[in-house]
Amino acid sequence: MTSVLWLPDLGRSVDNLLLHKLRTLLTMLGMIFGVAAVVAMLSIGAGAQQEVMAFIEQLGVRNLIVEAREAGDGQALQKVRQLSAGLSFKDLRVLQSNLGNVSAVTARKRFTPTKLLPRPIGGDMPVVYGVSPA
């Protein structure tokens, strides 16, 4: 019995849609393009995420990064230098010549500038890395 109550309203709604064809068409196009835009943006985001994950997976565990620990003061630096001179360019050349499966090797020097103009907004100085051209 409740279905009979809303049946006349449904008939008037269909008559109104048929009476205003342009408005109905534009409303339908708006809904279709809106849903299509949302689906497209979600697809682009998922594709980008998948591509990044594939790139990270491609890197794998075959990379080896050797970094130096920074000494806080001069005395600590002298103590570290007495124990280990660190890696040199000679060590880099030895690694290149002895490891045949290595595709790329580069030296890297970390540098924190003491003065930068204009000053960064957060006050934190950037860290600059110098590498070889290869």
Question: Which is higher by pLDDT, 116 or 55?
Answer: 55
pLDDT for 133 equals 75
Contact call for residues 112 and 128 (beta carbons, < 8 A):
yes
The fraction of the chain above a pLDDT of 70, given in percent, is: 78
Interacting residues of 99 by C-beta distance below 8 A, sequence separation 6+ = none
Q: Can you tell me the mean pLDDT for 6-20?
A: 90
For tokens 């007495």, the residue is 82
pLDDT for 76 equals 75
pLDDT for 47 equals 92
Q: Per-domain residue ranges for the chain?
A: 8-59, 74-131
Q: Does 100 score more than 60 pLDDT? A: yes
Q: Does 74 score more than 60 pLDDT? A: yes
58, HSE (Cβ side, Cα atoms, 13 Å): 6
108 SS3 class: strand
pLDDT for 44 equals 95
**If you compute the radius of gyration of the chain from its CA atoms, what whole number of angstroms results?**
33
pLDDT for 68 equals 62
Q: Tens digit of pLDDT for each residue in 30-68?
A: 999 999 999 999 999 999 999 888 887 777 666 666 666
How confident is the prediction for the chain on average, in pLDDT? 79
pLDDT for 65 equals 65
12 SS3 class: helix
94, HSE (Cβ side, Cα atoms, 13 Å): 5
Is the previous residue joined to 118 through a cis bond, with omega within 30 degrees of 0?
yes
Q: Does 1 score more than 60 pLDDT? A: no
